[in-house]
C-alpha cells in the first residue's frame, strides 16, 4: 500500500473527511520529516510507513476533540501533533514549542515550505514562555507526566481553557497524583496501531 493510500484509508477509519490538498500537505510534511531525520535524528521512527501510523494517524486521532481558538503544543518535537492540527484546521491558531533547537528549526522549515500561516514556532522552555494572550487549549503528546505538564503550563492557559494530554495506556496513577478531575478520558483507536491510546480532558477552570 502506498503512503498516500495508507494515510487516506487511516483518515477515513478515524471518521475524517480530509480534502486532497490537506492529504498532499501531510505527505509533503512526511517527506520533509524523513529527509531531516536522516541527518538530525528528530524521531526514533525511521520507516515512512510506520511514520504514517505512529506520527500522522496518531496525531489525527485527536483532531475531532480539539476546540477552535488558540492552541499550544508543548514539547512538540517534530511538530506532533501541532503541525498536523495546523495543516488540517485553518481555524486554529497553533503555537508549537520545543526546547531542542534542531526540532524548532525543522518546524520552522516545515512552516515555510508548507506555507502554514496559522502556525507559530517557538524554541525554548515552556515555563519561560510569555504569550500576549492565553491559550484556549494546551496539548502534549509525550511531554511529561500530567502533574508536571499542568504545573509548567498553568500560566499559559485561559480561564475557560482545556488541557489535553495524549497518553498511551490509561494513566490512572498520573490522574491520582493531581487534584484536577478530568471531564472525560477518551479511548482513541489509531488505525494500524496495536496499542492503547487515551486522550485526557482537564478543564482549567478547576484551578
The annotated binding site is made up of: 75, 80, 126-127, 141
Cβ-contact 38, 92 below 8 angstroms: no
* Pairing assessment for the beta strands 69-74 and 92-98 based on DSSP bridges: parallel
For 146, which DSSP code?
H
Rounded CA-CA distance 167/176 in Å is: 15
Cβ-contact 118, 111 below 8 angstroms: no
* Pairing assessment for the beta strands 157-167 and 197-203 based on DSSP bridges: antiparallel
Nearest to 84 by CA among 127, 128, 118: 118
Q: What are the DSSP calls for 15-27, one per residue?
A: T----HHHHHHHH
Identify the residue whose cell numbers are 480530509: 18
Nearest to 106 by CA among 76, 141, 61, 63: 76
Annotated binding-site positions for S-adenosyl-L-methionine? 75, 80, 126-127, 141
Rounded CA-CA distance 116/94 in Å is: 10
Amino acid at each position: 500500500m502506498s503512503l498516500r493510500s495508507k494515510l487516506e484509508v487511516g483518515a477515513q477509519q478515524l471518521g475524517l473527511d480530509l480534502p486532497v490538498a490537506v492529504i498532499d500537505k501531510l505527505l509533503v510534511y512526511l517527506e520533509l520529516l524523513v529527509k531531516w531525520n536522516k541527518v538530525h535524528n528528530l524521531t526514533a521512527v525511521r520507516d515512512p510507513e510506520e511514520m504514517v501510523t505512529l506520527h500522522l494517524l496518531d496525531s489525527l486521532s485527536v483532531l475531532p476533540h480539539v476546540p477552535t481558538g488558540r492552541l499550544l503544543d508543548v514539547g512538540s518535537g517534530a511538530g506532533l501533533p501541532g503541525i498536523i492540527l495546523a495543516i488540517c484546521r485553518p481555524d486554529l491558531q497553533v503555537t508549537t514549542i520545543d526546547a531542542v533547537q534542531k526540532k524548532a528549526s525543522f518546524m520552522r522549515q516545515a512552516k515555510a515550505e508548507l506555507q502554514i500561516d496559522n502556525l507559530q514556532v517557538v524554541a525554548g522552555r515552556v515555563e519561560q514562555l510569555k504569550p500576549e494572550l492565553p491559550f484556549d487549549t494546551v496539548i502534549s503528546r509525550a511531554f511529561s507526566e500530567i502533574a508536571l505538564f499542568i504545573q509548567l503550563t498553568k500560566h499559559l492557559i485561559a480561564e475557560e481553557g482545556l488541557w489535553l494530554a495524549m497518553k498511551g495506556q490509561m494513566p490512572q496513577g498520573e490522574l491520582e497524583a493531581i487534584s484536577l478531575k478530568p471531564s472525560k478520558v477518551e479511548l482513541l483507536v489509531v488505525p494500524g496501531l496495536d496499542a492503547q491510546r487515551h486522550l485526557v480532558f482537564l478543564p482549567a477552570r478547576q484551578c
